Structure 1
């Protein structure tokens, strides 16, 4: 099993962040677009080459892009306005192309503000619009050409009211029905599932392309009520071959600002993941 972390948690230049993650023992990195470019629509070859160079210098794989939109972005996959949906699909295509350009092959769609059911819109209609957005022929062709997989990530309430469970994410992927559209699951959100997590993972296995490691306290997989032992056993049993990537949620919990020590979280989490997965690690731990 290989492990990664999102670079956005570090407020450092890319090269320093990548070097630090490699020194801590990570194998890969997820790269949030706005940490290296003003917009995926206008990103240039120099910007993407700089990401690839920094990752190669650190000896890290670029896993992909963990976030597509910021909270205030004016896009929405389920909007009743066709112009908004078209603009959203264009942004998704640009993100996929950007992901491929930096050397990644996973784009995770979380983006609660760009998916929650719009006011006054029936949930079934919002679902149809969202599936149609992900099924856009140009988007699917871009996914095919780049080899990137676009993952729907279920987000537990109260973060959104659209695709809040793994089963809904599976149904969404099956409705799109394309080999480059899959599912990303996250330990933090899995804690809200009604069924035992191993059962959820087994159902999701045919579509599971990425896994985010966190727990209910939002500061890494070690801290919270989710038991990672059964998760490890199930991921192995279903022959999961993707990355396990650290994405913490402490910044969205409660009203307190995100003040935890990123380096402490990164160090504690990689140690926990390698211990739990039984990986001795190919990198030195510091």
Structure 2
């Protein structure tokens, strides 16, 4: 099982310091939020991209991909009635695919709840069709870079579009591209009401990436969620992708979250191997 960390929790840290610390506690992957690199993907120069890869590699790390794809952007939306905005969104996803490819990343997680929420006057079938069009337009170019674009179900507290793994699976089937697949996130899956091992097994054929966290917005082991059945299901399902820590409450500090999360995950693996 390969462990990565979503690096936006290292607020105010240089990229070099982020990589050095993550590697020192045992992570082998870094997952990047584009807004931490620049307000617009076009601002991130070729030299900067090469330097990010070099520093990560010097610390034995891979840049595994991107998430928070549309965070802190303007004029972009997945399900809007405005066809020009949808075209701009598709074009921006293609640019993010180029960034991901330049960083040697393989996955892009589409969460971005505010940029997918249903606008007034839009119903769910209309939103679905518009999202399919955006993703279908972007996928060929993204796939050309060897990147997978992954749909992330989110809770109803965050968005009103694609709240369950089943709904995401329907969207994935409609887009019908081998590089458009499912991302699973523990916090989000906890909101579905279905046991997580069941969701992991049911959707194992289309799952390409996995985020770990807890309903309290902290890392694995820092809340009430027992990861023994979660990791057991991942292993049984044959999942061989990254397990990436994504937190939303940074108050304990990046060092504590990063260290305690990987210590807990390693303990879970040890427990399962000792059974």
Residues 1:4 and 2:4 are matched in the alignment = yes
Indicate conservation of the 8 Å contact 2:40/2:73, yes or no.
no
Alignment of 1:55-204 (within 5 A): 55-71=56-72, 73-136=74-137, 139-204=138-203
TM-score (norm 1): 0.91
- The aligned counterpart of 2:268 is 276
* CA displacement 1:118-146 (0-9 Å, x = unmatched): 1111111011001111111xx22212211
Indicate conservation of the 8 Å contact 2:35/2:71, yes or no.
no
Question: How much has 1:227 moved relative to structure 2?
Answer: 2.1
Residues 1:45 and 2:37 are matched in the alignment = no
Give the length in aligned residue pairs: 270
Taking the aligned partners of 2:107 and 2:131, their CA distance within structure 1 comes to: 19
- The aligned counterpart of 1:54 is 55
- The aligned counterpart of 2:252 is 260
State the Cα RMSD in Å.
Answer: 1.4
Question: How much has 1:71 moved relative to structure 2?
Answer: 4.7
Secondary structure of 1:160 counterpart: coil
Question: How much has 1:40 moved relative to structure 2?
Answer: 1.2
* CA displacement 1:98-127 (0-9 Å, x = unmatched): 001011011000000111111111111011
Indicate conservation of the 8 Å contact 2:149/2:180, yes or no.
yes
Taking the aligned partners of 2:23 and 2:3, their CA distance within structure 1 comes to: 11
- The aligned counterpart of 1:241 is 240
Taking the aligned partners of 1:92 and 1:277, their CA distance within structure 2 comes to: 35
Structure 2 gaps of 5+ residues are none
Indicate conservation of the 8 Å contact 1:155/1:163, yes or no.
yes
Question: How much has 1:185 moved relative to structure 2?
Answer: 0.8
Indicate conservation of the 8 Å contact 2:63/2:103, yes or no.
yes
Taking the aligned partners of 1:25 and 1:5, their CA distance within structure 2 comes to: 10
TM-score (norm 2): 0.95
Report the more deviating stretch, 226-235 or 1-10.
226-235
Indicate conservation of the 8 Å contact 2:100/2:147, yes or no.
yes
Taking the aligned partners of 1:112 and 1:69, their CA distance within structure 2 comes to: 9
Structure 1 gaps of 5+ residues are 251-257, 280-286
Runs of 4+ in 1 over 6 A off after TM superposition: none
